[in-house]
């Protein structure tokens, strides 16, 4: 096949690269054992790795279910279950060579197993978070157990990135299911699924027979702790070794005690709200425009996040190669917003705002609600989980939804919401625009990076004009790392990645 070899790396053990006598930079010697205690702000939204949409499920599911294409610390494509791959010159055919990966029951991970997973994800009735993407696969072939050939219906510049989305495109054993019922949790990762208690905790165990280099940590106890202060206090007291979703300002102050350190959790994240364009009076673009004009991105960054955020009008932060330079207001124009609401006769309209319970800032949504009250609307904030967000947005059963998108390296996923036939179009307010849809699809299939950026700049401008989706800030998110956890480096979006993260970390008192 004509094409360039994208990755062909021969790795010692192909999954870890460390050994028990390896030492860390601070002089600590890795040892096997101990229980890693982790605090997370939200529960798992699904147990099936194909159906996961929330952050907790995807992050910790990746410890059990590996992806065909892995990621490095910066979330660039790296070897995973596939040790190498080639891409044809026309960008339509991908040929993967699988490593000697095995499932937790000892059976080999074959190319047919990967096909079974991808076919399952692609079914319209699957409910998979990446269904629309995998439906773009035209054909899959398995010349042998270790070779997989995938033909796409059209080029997609994000293909390798999506294959590496942890916890959402994970490869699981077909034996996990009895018909449609999930009866087991067999993956190929360095940890096995031991037990799960809803709204309480998830227990993972070290898999000693992992096909790569086994992890050092013996057990992971993930505790579901929705209260931000409770997580921070538990970390400060040594009750937790690792904590996520911390209030940035409070965490920085508490870390000064020396009880833990802060690492930046680079999520490439943009917070946004979407307004339902199919419901009156929000079907009037002037009403949506007024709602946007009333919101001060500057206030959200300063007061909502204590200065640990930057105003934005897009999903990518300024450090990303996909950041688009553009002019946009960071302050509010309340006078113009009030005028538009009055002219539309929308004063007194009740607005229910569905706020994702993992938004990360109680103040952010409150700032927006106060602004809308000031221009004559009557907002009501309702905190919900990600499953409710996705279900209600798809059904059109909402006024406004407030959430964030992150964990992204390629613009295809966030901008795809603007395509009117996308399964997640509700996250763009159910906006229906033929021209915008065509441009979104054109950008996704364009391989030239500069041309893609130009297209996304045009899409961004049109998105602002339609006023159906409004980005507010790019927050800085921290991970709190206790002193007992050694050798851990947070990845970009991931706690485990190729040759790093929790696959290399160990507990000092383990």
pLDDT band for position 309 (cuts 50, 70, 90): very high
d(CA 381, CA 399) in angstroms, rounded, equals 11
- Mean pLDDT in residue range 165-169: 79
CB 291 within 8 A of CB 333: no
403, containing H or E segment: strand 400-405
- pLDDT at position 248 is 86
- pLDDT at position 9 is 35
Q: Coil, helix or strand for 304?
A: helix
Q: Is 460 exposed, middle or buried (0-12, 13-18, 19+ CB in 10 A)?
A: buried
pLDDT band for position 25 (cuts 50, 70, 90): very low
44: left (phi over 0), alpha (psi -120 to 50) or beta: beta
Asked if the model's pLDDT at residue 330 lies above 60, the reply is: yes
Q: What is the mean pLDDT of the chain?
A: 91
CB 400 within 8 A of CB 274: yes
- Mean pLDDT in residue range 251-256: 93
Which one has a higher pLDDT value, 264 or 354? 354
Q: What is the CA radius of gyration of the chain?
A: 23
d(CA 133, CA 141) in angstroms, rounded, equals 18
Dmax over CA atoms of the chain, in Å, equals 73
Asked if the model's pLDDT at residue 16 lies above 80, the reply is: no
d(CA 434, CA 457) in angstroms, rounded, equals 17
- pLDDT at position 274 is 97
pLDDT digits 0-9 by tens, 110-120? 999 999 999 99
Asked if the model's pLDDT at residue 12 lies above 70, the reply is: no
Q: Say which CATH superfamily domain 270-475 falls into.
A: Dipeptide-binding Protein; Domain 3 (3.10.105.10)
pLDDT digits 0-9 by tens, 48-89? 999 998 889 999 999 999 999 999 998 889 999 999 999 999
262: tokens are 């802060």
d(CA 283, CA 432) in angstroms, rounded, equals 11
d(CA 12, CA 213) in angstroms, rounded, equals 9
């Amino acid at each position: 096949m004509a094409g360039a070899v994208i990755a062909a790396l021969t790795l010692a053990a192909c999954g870890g690269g460390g050994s028990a006598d390896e030492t860390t930079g601070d002089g600590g010697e890795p040892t096997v054992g101990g229980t890693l205690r982790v605090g997370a702000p939200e529960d798992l939204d699904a147990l099936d790795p194909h159906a996961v949409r929330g952050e907790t499920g995807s992050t910790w599911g990746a410890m059990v279910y590996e992806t065909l294409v892995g990621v490095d610390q910066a979330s660039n494509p790296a070897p995973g279950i596939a040790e190498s791959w080639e891409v044809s010159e026309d960008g339509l055919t991908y040929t993967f060579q699988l490593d000697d990966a095995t499932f937790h029951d000892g059976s080999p991970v074959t190319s047919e197993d990967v096909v079974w997973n991808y076919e399952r994800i692609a079914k319209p009735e699957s409910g998979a978070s990446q269904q629309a993407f995998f439906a773009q696969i035209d054909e899959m072939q398995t010349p042998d157990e270790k070779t997989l050939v995938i033909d796409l219906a059209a080029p997609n510049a994000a293909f390798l990135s999506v294959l590496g989305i942890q916890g959402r495109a994970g490869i699981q054993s077909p034996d996990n299911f009895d018909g449609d019922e999930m009866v087991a949790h067999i993956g190929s990762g360095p940890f096995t699924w031991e037990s799960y208690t809803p709204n309480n905790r998830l227990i993972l165990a070290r898999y000693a027979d992992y096909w790569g280099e086994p992890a050092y940590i013996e057990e992971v106890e993930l505790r579901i702790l929705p209260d931000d202060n409770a997580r921070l206090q538990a970390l400060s007291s040594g009750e937790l070794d690792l904590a996520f979703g911390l209030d940035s300002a409070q965490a920085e102050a508490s870390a000064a005690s020396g009880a833990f350190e802060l690492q930046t959790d680079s999520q490439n994240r943009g917070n946004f709200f979407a307004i339902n364009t199919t419901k009156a009076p929000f079907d009037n673009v002037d009403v949506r425009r007024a709602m946007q004009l009333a919101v001060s991105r500057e206030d959200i960054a300063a007061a909502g996040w204590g200065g640990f955020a930057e105003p934005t009008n897009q999903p990518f932060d300024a450090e990303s190669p996909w950041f688009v330079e553009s002019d946009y207001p960071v302050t509010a124009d309340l006078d113009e917003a009030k005028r538009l609401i009055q002219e539309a006769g929308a004063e007194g309209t009740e607005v229910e705002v569905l706020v994702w319970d993992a938004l990360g800032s109680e103040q952010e949504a409150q700032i927006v609600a106060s602004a809308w009250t000031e221009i004559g609307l009557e907002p009501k904030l309702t905190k919900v989980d990600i499953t409710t967000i996705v279900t209600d947005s798809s059904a059109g059963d909402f006024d406004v939804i407030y959430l964030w998108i992150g964990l992204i390296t390629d613009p295809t996923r966030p901008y795809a919401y603007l395509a009117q036939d996308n399964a997640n179009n509700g996250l763009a307010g159910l906006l229906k625009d033929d021209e915008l849809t065509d441009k979104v699809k054109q950008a996704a299939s364009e391989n030239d990076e500069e041309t893609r950026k130009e297209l996304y700049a045009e899409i961004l401008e049109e998105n602002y004009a339609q006023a159906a989706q409004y980005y507010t800030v790019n927050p800085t998110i921290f991970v709190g790392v206790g002193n007992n956890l050694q050798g851990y480096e947070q990845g970009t979006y991931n706690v485990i990645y190729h040759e790093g993260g929790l696959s290399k970390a160990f507990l000092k008192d383990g």
